Chain A
């Protein structure tokens, strides 16, 4: 059961640039944080003006008591405005939205694989997995380069040594995250794991292929334009094997095998 959706005026605790162009914001928002689950998201009204107009969606990055954090990349006007907000500022938040990651007891090992800012919901998931399970957790982080690599320390603090891939080889291995996934399997690490992923579409497609080939369950948090966030506008549709599904209400986490690209 998901918690009730609440529109709450949250108070910003901190909002820091953790890597060039990437910000970590902590918000005090007791009613929303209380019901939040990894994989769920909030929408934030970044501006009182009409441009940007729509609220913007952000996955929970960390959930701690009455507070939660979001990790975001400055990509346009809305996120630029957000990045200029200061501790103490109030923001209009709607959440928790969507369905989180489902972790069943039959899951054995876990592989979390992220590309770029896709690391955000997987950090919340890892936080939960570490708190509640003793299964092995493998984390693969892909980034364009060392400067854009996110969250290495967050995972280390959780006791996980992340496997790192950069496109240009400036840190970790010069490879695609999916290549390191293949390598992990061929080395015999991760026995029949469940894969959780979030990242660019091209990466998700490759992971879907690997998972299908090996007969593994794979769940992805999908990103798309979102208008209402609560399943009424039907704007965030993705094609699945059964029908169109809504990222905001049926997702954002989907079984990757169900998605038709």
Chain B
């Protein structure tokens, strides 16, 4: 049998396979290049950048819970200025699709970030992170369809680049938010960002996180994330990128069968730095074995 074709499209964007390294879990690619062939990835999504540098939340910022991780990093990053100067030259070396994640505290910040990135040719797409649960106002644009519509409209007006809007699961109705983002011109939605949660130290009677509340990721959230991806794919026409506890190729296939055009791998890269690559190889083996020639034969084929 011929080699299966793993290529997928997100808007105009062509990915060589459906596996993307999730924002905040893969740095700027550079950090993994010693032990992962990053050129094999479908895409790298960089750590979210903000207009001004952000120092992040007080430690502890990470705590492991049952089959999951609670984090409250707080968008620590050196700001767009530093990103353009220090990170862009490194990213240029990567032979894969580069998606830059942005997070703004106001409409104006989203506009400014978009304008700056629009001029950079090596930025293939922008992921609008309207769903960070760990900063004040981080969720503001993700919880109401109207504000999601407004922020995506604004970003859309300021760039012709492919847009992915990253959605929060901490909302009443993800479908409504996804539809608002679609209507405003996003090329894709990615979901889910982390679920807000708390872990308590019973000795000190304090939260195990410096910021008290954090965002839960990892295998613990997978069934819920999967349900949400499935629901959203039935409500929008644009491609949906699924994530939430994708640890191996089987998890990735679950998302794809449920309707995701691509998946993002996050927590798994901490557990096994080569997870992304192993997932790509696993999907390919599965397709060969099951005589599925391309991704179209797989995406959204869930029988209900």
Query: 8 Å CB contacts to A: which residues of B34-65?
Result: 34-35, 47, 55-56, 58-64
Expressed in whole angstroms, the minimum distance between the Cβ of A247 and any Cβ of chain B is: 9
Q: Which of A124-132, A138-146, A148-156, A222-230 contacts B (4 or more CB under 8 A)?
A: A222-230
Expressed in whole angstroms, the minimum distance between the Cβ of A226 and any Cβ of chain B is: 8
| 20 pairs of residues in contact across A and B, judged by CB atoms under 8 Å | A7-B274, A45-B271, A50-B67, A52-B64, A53-B64, A53-B219, A54-B69, A54-B271, A94-B35, A225-B64, A230-B27, A231-B27, A232-B24, A234-B24, A234-B61, A235-B71, A236-B61, A237-B59, A244-B56, A244-B76
Q: Report Cα–Cα, A52/B67, bound state, in Å.
A: 7
**A243 beta carbon closer than 8 Å to chain B:** yes
**B145 beta carbon closer than 8 Å to chain A:** no
Expressed in whole angstroms, the minimum distance between the Cβ of A123 and any Cβ of chain B is: 27
Evaluate contact between A233 and B64: CB separation under 8 angstroms: no
**A residues adjacent to B (C-beta < 8 A):** 4-7, 45, 50-55, 92, 94, 224-239, 243-244
**B270 beta carbon closer than 8 Å to chain A:** yes
Evaluate contact between A237 and B56: CB separation under 8 angstroms: yes
Expressed in whole angstroms, the minimum distance between the Cβ of B53 and any Cβ of chain A is: 9
Q: Report Cα–Cα, A233/B64, bound state, in Å.
A: 13
Expressed in whole angstroms, the minimum distance between the Cβ of A69 and any Cβ of chain B is: 23
Chain A residue contacts of B269, Cβ below 8 A: 228, 232
Q: Report Cα–Cα, A231/B267, bound state, in Å.
A: 14
A interface secondary structure, majority:
loop
Q: Report Cα–Cα, A17/B269, bound state, in Å.
A: 32
**B73 beta carbon closer than 8 Å to chain A:** yes
| Chain B count of residues within 8 A CB distance of the other chain | 36
Evaluate contact between B273 and A233: CB separation under 8 angstroms: no
**B18 beta carbon closer than 8 Å to chain A:** no
Chain B residue contacts of A94, Cβ below 8 A: 35, 273
Q: A50-B219, A227-B62, A237-B61 are in contact. Are A55 and B270 (CB under 8 A)?
A: yes
Chain A residue contacts of B274, Cβ below 8 A: 7
Closest to B75 in A: A234
Evaluate contact between A224 and B59: CB separation under 8 angstroms: yes
Q: A50-B218, A53-B219, A55-B270 are in contact. Are A232 and B60 (CB under 8 A)?
A: no
Q: Report Cα–Cα, A55/B220, bound state, in Å.
A: 17
**B121 beta carbon closer than 8 Å to chain A:** no
Chain B residue contacts of A238, Cβ below 8 A: 59
Chain B residue contacts of A50, Cβ below 8 A: 67, 218-220, 247
**B107 beta carbon closer than 8 Å to chain A:** no
Expressed in whole angstroms, the minimum distance between the Cβ of A71 and any Cβ of chain B is: 22
Q: Report Cα–Cα, A54/B272, bound state, in Å.
A: 9
**B68 beta carbon closer than 8 Å to chain A:** yes
Q: Report Cα–Cα, A236/B24, bound state, in Å.
A: 14
Expressed in whole angstroms, the minimum distance between the Cβ of B75 and any Cβ of chain A is: 9
Expressed in whole angstroms, the minimum distance between the Cβ of B264 and any Cβ of chain A is: 14
**B31 beta carbon closer than 8 Å to chain A:** yes
Q: Report Cα–Cα, A227/B219, bound state, in Å.
A: 15
Q: Report Cα–Cα, A237/B220, bound state, in Å.
A: 24
Evaluate contact between B59 and A227: CB separation under 8 angstroms: no
Chain B residue contacts of A225, Cβ below 8 A: 60, 62-64
Expressed in whole angstroms, the minimum distance between the Cβ of B60 and any Cβ of chain A is: 6
Q: Report Cα–Cα, A45/B271, bound state, in Å.
A: 7
Expressed in whole angstroms, the minimum distance between the Cβ of A203 and any Cβ of chain B is: 18
Chain A residue contacts of B71, Cβ below 8 A: 227, 233, 235
Most B-side CB within 10 Å, residue of A50, A229, A236: A50
Evaluate contact between B272 and A45: CB separation under 8 angstroms: yes
**B170 beta carbon closer than 8 Å to chain A:** no
Partner of A233, one of B59, B62, B272: B62
B 109-134 to A, binary, CB cutoff 8 A, 1 in contact else 0? 00000000000000000000000000
